[in-house]
Amino acid sequence: MCGIVGLFLKDSALEPQLGSLLAGMLEVMSDRGPDSAGFAVYGAGDPGRIKLTIRGADLDSVATAIGSEVGAVVRDSHLVLSFPGDQEQQVRAWLAAERPDLVVIGAGQRIELYKEVGRPADVTSRFGLAGMAGTHGIGHTRMATESAVTTDGAHPFSTGADQCLVHNGSLSNHRSLRRMLEPQGIAFATDNDSEVAAGYLAWKLREGSTLAEALEDSLGDLDGFFTLVVGTEGGFAVVRDPISCKPAVMAETDRYVAFGSEYRALVGLPGIEHARVFEPEPARVYAWERAR
């Protein structure tokens, strides 16, 4: 069944509250996905530096072993490394050679991505989501109906820089899409169909499509039923398949745009009583970009 949420802030005064608002939205979706949960937050970032979010064990000494210019923040089972952008290939090569047990699950200037097995309230607490600030974020609560309950199967999925996706639904052509995308240099770490959708969008963006254009194309190229909520460095978007059998609701004010699988995920947002609340139309792309 699964639950998905997203929050895009127009008003910078709300940025310190992004994490606490997103955490509340995720916790409300617990009964739609009690097995595992995850979220991505787009924070301030540092000019000229890249962040990698890494999952694994024995994380405390990783940054020191890589080099003096590498910063590190450990949050439970995840580590966020920060380093000059021109060192990304060097850092990835070190990780592959010296710590192949670690999994890179997110990369970019602004994105941090966290996911684990457990009830959503426990997962958000473990990673300290309520204390995180940023401009936008997305999240997912999973009910594993077609595969095992694992952290690898949890959302969001990220296959491109500062890009991630959460998905409610099922794709019937994900195997053929995977075979098409892998020769294009899109790598996959799991067998999850949602990771293939993320890879498809990463490929489209890399080829020069805007986020809105990539999602328009997805309506013809992704076969199945789906609701996608997508984050990029500066954008936030939602699209549903032409049938739209999965529930979805959105709310927009002059301060934010919010998405939830159900309206109750949105009731804790400030000023929700004055929001324009609507059901996103089938096969229509909704996209917003943050002010530069």
Burial tier of 57 (Cβ tally within 10 Å: 0-12, 13-18, 19+): exposed
Is 2 annotated as catalytic? yes
Mean pLDDT computed over 93-112 = 96
Read off the pTM. 0.95
Catalytic residue among 1, 2, 112, 165: 2
pLDDT digits (tens, 9 = 90+) for 237-272: 999 999 999 999 999 999 999 999 999 999 999 999
Query: Could you tell me the domains of the chain?
Result: 3-39+135-289 (3.60.20.10)
Mean pLDDT computed over 150-159 = 92
> What residues are paired with 38 via a beta bridge?
115, 140
% of the chain with per-residue pLDDT over 70 = 99
pLDDT bucket at 1, cuts 50 / 70 / 90? confident
Backbone Cα Rg of the chain = 18
pLDDT digits (tens, 9 = 90+) for 119-128: 999 999 999 9
pLDDT at residue 184 is higher than 70: yes
pLDDT digits (tens, 9 = 90+) for 41-99: 999 889 999 999 999 999 999 999 998 799 999 999 999 999 999 999 999 999 999 99
Q: What is the chain's mean pLDDT, rounded?
A: 95
